[in-house]
Every structure is written in C-alpha cells, then in structure tokens.
Homo-oligomer: A and B are copies of this chain.
C-alpha cells in the first residue's frame, strides 16, 4: 500500500525529530537552543532534560535562533446547507445585543442577507448594516469602515461576503476594541509596527459567500496601503473570527468566473503552504509566544490541511466551474477553501501571493471575462495562479519529494520521475490544469504586461517580506532576490 498521507509524515517527522537529535547527538548546525556545541554532551535520555533545563536558565539571544515550535489555531467552523439561519441564535448565545453586519453592495442584495436580517430580528437583536466594503480594500476604505463601527459601538460583528468583507470586518473589530490605537500599530512590519493582538476582541461571525479566501478561519486581514503602494495587512491569530458559518447555499450565487478565480486562490493557498519553508527553519525564534507569527512555515498539522485541500481542489474545481448545477463540486470547493484556510492560516503562503500584489496593483488595463465591474480587474485568484507554474519550477529544488507529491495530486504518475524533474513536472501539471479550467490567461503577456514592466513588478514584490520570508530557495541578499524574482516574472510572461 502506498498512502500519501503516511508517506508525507516522515518529512514532517524528520523535521520535528531533527531538533531532538540535535540536542541528543549534538549537531551544532541544527542546534535549536544555542550555538555553543560544548553543551551537547547529553547522550542519555535523562540527560537530555538536564541539558534543556540548563538552557532554560541560560540567557541566550533568541534572535539568532531558529524556531522550535508551531501553533495551530483556527476559528470554529460550522458547515451545513442552510446553516446561515442559525446566526441569530449564535449571537443570542454570545449575549450580543447590538450587532454590526458588514457586507458590500452586491452581497447586500442576495438572499443570504435577508436570512441574516430575518434571524437577528427574530432574536430581537438590534443591528445596523455597513454595506460599503470595497472589493480589494484600501486603507481609506478600511478607515471609513472603522469610523462607522466606532461610532455605532457594537458588541458583536457579522461579516457576510467574500475575503474583502471578512477582512474589513476583522479590522473594524480590532480598532473598535483598540479605540485609541494608531492605524499602523498592528499593520505588519516593516510597513507598520506589527504589534501583537493581546486584548480579547468582540465576537465576530464570518459567513463566506465565495469559496476561496478561507478568511473565515484565519487571523489575516489584507488591504492596500496606498501611500506606500503596498498590499499589506494585519495578521495575528487573535484576530480570527469566533465562528465561521460555511453554508453551501451562499456560494451558489457565484458566477462561473468567480468560482474559477476564487478556486485558483484555494489552489495556491494549498500549494504554497505545502511547499513553504518548514517552521523550524524560520528565524528568529520569538521571544514571547504572542509574537509567534500566524504564518509560521509548513508544519505537521498545516500539512494535513494543505495536501487535503489541494487534492479536493484538483478534483472538484473544474467541475464546479463548468457545471453550475454540480452542487456536490460546489460544496466540496467551499469545504476545500475552508480547509486550505486553516492550512495557510497557520503555515503561510509565499511567492505566488507575494508576486500577485504588484500584478493586480499594476494592472495595465486587463478586464477579466465574467467580472461585471466598471474598471479593469485582475481577480486575486487569477493574479496568484498566473505565476504558479514558474514559481514551483523555481522552488522545487528545496524539497523535490513534496513537489512530486503535489504533482501526484494533479494525477501525474510520479513513479519514474527523477527528483531533478520535480519542478518541471509540477509546473507542467499546473499549466495543464489552468488550460483545462478555461478562460485563464496563459501568462503575464495575456494580462497586458511587457518585458519592460518586470523591474516594477519586482520592486512591488520586495516589500512583501511577511510572505517572501517563507519562500524556499529565495536568496536572502536583496540583489540576488531581485534577480530571482525577475527570472520568475520573465518565465511567467
């Protein structure tokens, strides 16, 4: 029997165990505790604890240490057909009496919104609706939303919509509780101060209407900081919603093109978190657990979610896109999106996402078919997937086994594939998948980019430190990094 889930475990196990062996057998290069090899005289199990106790009382510079632990955290998730109608009772159970419903002008018109209103009314809960969430939020739109929430002083939030709505609602919650905080206090460094979210926030129930973002499970909220021309955000596990309500009735309203684009986001969440650097290679080790980032690198628990959602997406996305009546595929994609959210919410994403921000931000005028908006748009999922074949050709050398397992998830027979070909094979599998999905740009040229745009795309990627730090194979020297990014953009043309 060849069971992928088992076959994968050894990688994870190997990483976890390398720490233990480092202490026990004294390999200085991977030492998790300090860099003084003279401590490594512990050969007996009993001595290992002694050695570690000594470490605990020895002051050491943690900023020079690699990470040694990971934390798995996710919102509670409720899944079921029609389960949106429980939201009123949930809010009552949470003792909410004054709720701010967050949505956007399109979602506001859907049945789901009527259900939410009806439910809150039935429970006698006072509420207001903020319907001005901007798709792809900017700092200005987020600040407007925060001002609205501060003024209303709710005791709970409901977010009904896609990633933009859920992310905006998280920020409304954060700055309503931290009323006097500066907007940049919690924004990811180096753009903001990156402070941890230490205070308990208000209850937030997130109800996704797309199957892509996974935002209902995670503590991440993304927006454009216009003055710095950077896509950034706030990411802390304490920002996560209290509960995600995943109701397949709510994603039925997506047009095919939105199914496709949001599904491609799920695909890249899965692939990127699965191939991100291992958590125990991340530096520095946090001095306090509250500073351990949500984006920690691949770890044995995120691996389970990432690989599972990758396989589901390969299996169901094309069906969900091609056949609007295929409810099974649509439900499976909502589930995959949530599972991928738990995976990347605890492991992170890397190059596809880091490079997608300048791609959508510097859009030369591309208008994606099937999106009825009045200005040019490269949907987020399209902008992450367009570089994916090149990205995984680039990262494969870091861990060919994982890239081959990913290729296998696309149906490739990897029995006779050499490790050196892992990148080629996975890149080609992704390319074919995008082709079969249909209506996708074949590369950056199809989006209107020219070779002369590459320098600007690279410059726009560099500030994405939070995700770039999780990219395997990436040069840690700026010039080397730029050259590598330019090459990946070039290969994606």
Q: Which A residues are within 8 Å of any B CB, using their own CB?
A: 1, 3-6, 9, 13-14, 16-17, 19-21, 23-24, 32-33, 45, 48-49, 52-53, 55-56, 68-74, 76-83, 85-86, 89-90, 93, 111, 114-115, 118, 198, 237, 248-249, 252, 288-290, 299-301, 304-305, 307-308, 311-312, 315, 324-325, 327-328, 331-332, 335, 339, 408-409, 411-413
Instruction: Using known A-B contacts A13-B328, A16-B331, A111-B53, determine if residue A69 contacts B74 with beta carbons closer than 8 Å.
Output: no
Question: Roughly how many angstroms separate A77 CA and B249 CA in the complex, as a whole number?
Answer: 32
The answer to whether A71 and B81 touch across the interface, beta carbons within 8 angstroms, is no
CB distance from A490 to the nearest CB of B (A): 33
- B contact residues around A339 at 8 Å (CB): 301, 304
- B contact residues around A17 at 8 Å (CB): 327-328, 331
Partner of A9, one of B23, B288, B315: B315
Question: Roughly how many angstroms separate A250 CA and B25 CA in the complex, as a whole number?
Answer: 19
Question: Roughly how many angstroms separate A252 CA and B46 CA in the complex, as a whole number?
Answer: 9
- B contact residues around A335 at 8 Å (CB): 16, 300-301
Instruction: Using known A-B contacts A45-B324, A81-B20, A307-B5, determine if residue A90 contacts B289 with beta carbons closer than 8 Å.
Output: yes
Question: Roughly how many angstroms separate A74 CA and B249 CA in the complex, as a whole number?
Answer: 25
15 chain-A/chain-B pairs, Cβ below 8 angstroms: A3-B4, A13-B332, A20-B81, A45-B324, A45-B325, A49-B111, A52-B249, A53-B114, A68-B82, A69-B79, A69-B86, A70-B79, A72-B77, A72-B78, A301-B335
Q: How many copies does the complex hold?
A: 2
In this complex, what residue of B is CB-closest to A16?
A: B331
Partner of A304, one of B4, B114, B308, B411: B308
* A contact face: mostly helix, strand, loop, or mixed: helix
Instruction: Using known A-B contacts A20-B248, A311-B3, determine if residue A85 contacts B68 with beta carbons closer than 8 Å.
Output: no
CB distance from A270 to the nearest CB of B (A): 12
- B contact residues around A412 at 8 Å (CB): 1
Question: Roughly how many angstroms separate A413 CA and B79 CA in the complex, as a whole number?
Answer: 34
CB distance from A148 to the nearest CB of B (A): 27
The answer to whether A409 and B3 touch across the interface, beta carbons within 8 angstroms, is yes
CB distance from A27 to the nearest CB of B (A): 14
CB distance from A23 to the nearest CB of B (A): 7
In this complex, what residue of B is CB-closest to A407?
A: B1
The answer to whether A408 and B3 touch across the interface, beta carbons within 8 angstroms, is yes
- B contact residues around A72 at 8 Å (CB): 76-79
Question: Roughly how many angstroms separate A179 CA and B458 CA in the complex, as a whole number?
Answer: 60
Supplied contacts A3-B4, A16-B335, A304-B339, 16 more A-B pairs, CB within 8 Å = A6-B311, A13-B331, A16-B332, A17-B327, A20-B327, A20-B331, A21-B327, A52-B249, A53-B115, A69-B81, A69-B83, A73-B77, A89-B290, A93-B288, A301-B335, A304-B304
- B contact residues around A79 at 8 Å (CB): 16, 69-72, 299-301
Instruction: Using known A-B contacts A327-B17, A409-B3, determine if residue A78 contacts B71 with beta carbons closer than 8 Å.
Output: yes
- B contact residues around A115 at 8 Å (CB): 53, 56
CB distance from A78 to the nearest CB of B (A): 4
Question: Roughly how many angstroms separate A315 CA and B7 CA in the complex, as a whole number?
Answer: 11
- B contact residues around A332 at 8 Å (CB): 9, 13, 16
Question: Roughly how many angstroms separate A203 CA and B324 CA in the complex, as a whole number?
Answer: 46
The answer to whether B76 and A71 touch across the interface, beta carbons within 8 angstroms, is yes
- B contact residues around A114 at 8 Å (CB): 53
- B contact residues around A56 at 8 Å (CB): 82, 85, 115, 118
The answer to whether A5 and B331 touch across the interface, beta carbons within 8 angstroms, is no
CB distance from A317 to the nearest CB of B (A): 13
The answer to whether B80 and A237 touch across the interface, beta carbons within 8 angstroms, is no
In this complex, what residue of B is CB-closest to A111?
A: B49
The answer to whether B1 and A413 touch across the interface, beta carbons within 8 angstroms, is yes
- B contact residues around A20 at 8 Å (CB): 81, 248, 327-328, 331
CB distance from A468 to the nearest CB of B (A): 24
Question: Roughly how many angstroms separate A224 CA and B72 CA in the complex, as a whole number?
Answer: 32
CB distance from A396 to the nearest CB of B (A): 19
The answer to whether B4 and A5 touch across the interface, beta carbons within 8 angstroms, is yes
Find the residue from A114, A118, A288, A328 having the highest chain B CB count within 10 A: A328
In this complex, what residue of B is CB-closest to A69?
A: B80
CB distance from A215 to the nearest CB of B (A): 16
Question: Roughly how many angstroms separate A313 CA and B23 CA in the complex, as a whole number?
Answer: 25
- B contact residues around A53 at 8 Å (CB): 111, 114-115
Question: Roughly how many angstroms separate A412 CA and B68 CA in the complex, as a whole number?
Answer: 36
